[in-house]
């Protein structure tokens, strides 16, 4: 692991030990290689680029087109999921009314499409049908909007687990009270304290 990756946690103070994590993990050590690879890629981009140009994506096909357009990352917006890409198939306002697993399912779908595009490209290069200098980096890190977490700390924990399993490179959460969540552009938001 590179020193930049190790430095990423140097400013974090944890109130638990590695032994605490090991005790809670269980006897089977599960590796989430997609999440690990993509989060390291995102971290390296954040530390090597002055900014990362990205767009919101609504589907796996959109994600593939983002890669072909030369973007280096994908953003998954909560309002996009609410309005057009949730597992209920409904159109909602940006108020966390849609099923909580909608965004992780969309991250998984986008990653599946990116993996498939990468597999096809890899095969075409090996078969000599494509030149290396035409290669597209399909494995774009996805930054996902976790809204206000859809509840309390345990809900945030479960949602984060789903994002990790889906291969998200990063997740952000709003500091709004989940039960009173409003669109970020609206007034009347109720914020929760971020200190403990």
- What residue ranges do the domains of the chain occupy? 32-180
pLDDT tier at 196, thresholds 50, 70, 90: low
Half-sphere exposure (Cβ direction) of 139: Cα atoms closer than 13 Å = 19
Is the per-residue pLDDT at 119 higher than 70? Answer: yes
Across the range 69-89, mean pLDDT stands at 91
Confirm if 169 and 38 have CB atoms less than 8 A apart: yes
Q: What is the pLDDT of residue 4?
A: 55
Rounded CA-CA distance 100/159 in Å is 7
| Per-residue confidence (pLDDT) for residue 177, from 0 to 100 | 75
Q: Which helix (H) or strand (E) covers residue 172, if one does?
A: strand 170-172
Tell which residue, 107, 117, 108, 114, has the closest CA to residue 143. Answer: 107
Secondary structure tally for the chain: helices H, strands E: 7, 3
153-158: average pLDDT: 90
What's the rounded mean pLDDT across residues 152-174?
Answer: 93
Listed in sequence order, the DSSP H helices in 49-101 are 60-68, 78-84
Q: Is the pLDDT of residue 154 over 70?
A: yes
Tell me the two tokens of residue 49.
């680029």
Decide if pLDDT at 189 tops 80.
Answer: no
Q: How far is CA 3 from the centre of its chain?
A: 23
Q: Shortest CA distance to 105 belongs to which of 144, 72, 140?
A: 144
For domain 32-180, give its CATH number from 3.40.630.30, 3.40.50.1820, 3.20.20.80, 3.20.20.60. 3.20.20.60
Indicate which residues carry an active-site annotation: 183
pLDDT number for residue 109: 97
Structure confidence by residue, pLDDT tens digits, 51-68: 999 999 999 999 999 999
pTM above 0.75, yes or no: yes
């Amino acid at each position: 692991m590179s020193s930049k990756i190790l430095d990423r946690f140097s400013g974090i103070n944890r109130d638990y030990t590695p032994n605490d994590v090991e005790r809670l993990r269980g006897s089977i050590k599960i590796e989430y290689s997609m999440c690990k690879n993509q989060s390291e890629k995102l971290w390296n981009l954040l530390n090597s680029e002055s900014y990362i140009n990205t767009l919101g994506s609504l589907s796996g096909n959109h994600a593939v087109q983002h890669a072909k357009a030369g973007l280096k990352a994908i953003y998954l917006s909560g309002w996009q999921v609410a309005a057009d890409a949730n597992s209920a198939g409904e159109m909602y306002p940006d108020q966390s009314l849609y099923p909580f697993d909608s965004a992780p399912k969309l991250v998984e779908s986008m990653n599946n499409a990116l993996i498939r595009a990468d597999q096809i490209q890899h095969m075409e290069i090996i078969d000599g049908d494509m030149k290396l200098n035409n290669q597209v980096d399909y494995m774009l890190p996805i930054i996902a909007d976790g809204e206000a977490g859809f509840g309390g700390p345990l809900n945030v924990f479960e949602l984060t687990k789903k994002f990790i399993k889906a291969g998200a490179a990063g997740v952000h959460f709003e500091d709004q009270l989940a039960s009173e969540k409003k669109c970020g552009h609206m007034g009347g938001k109720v914020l929760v304290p971020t200190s403990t």
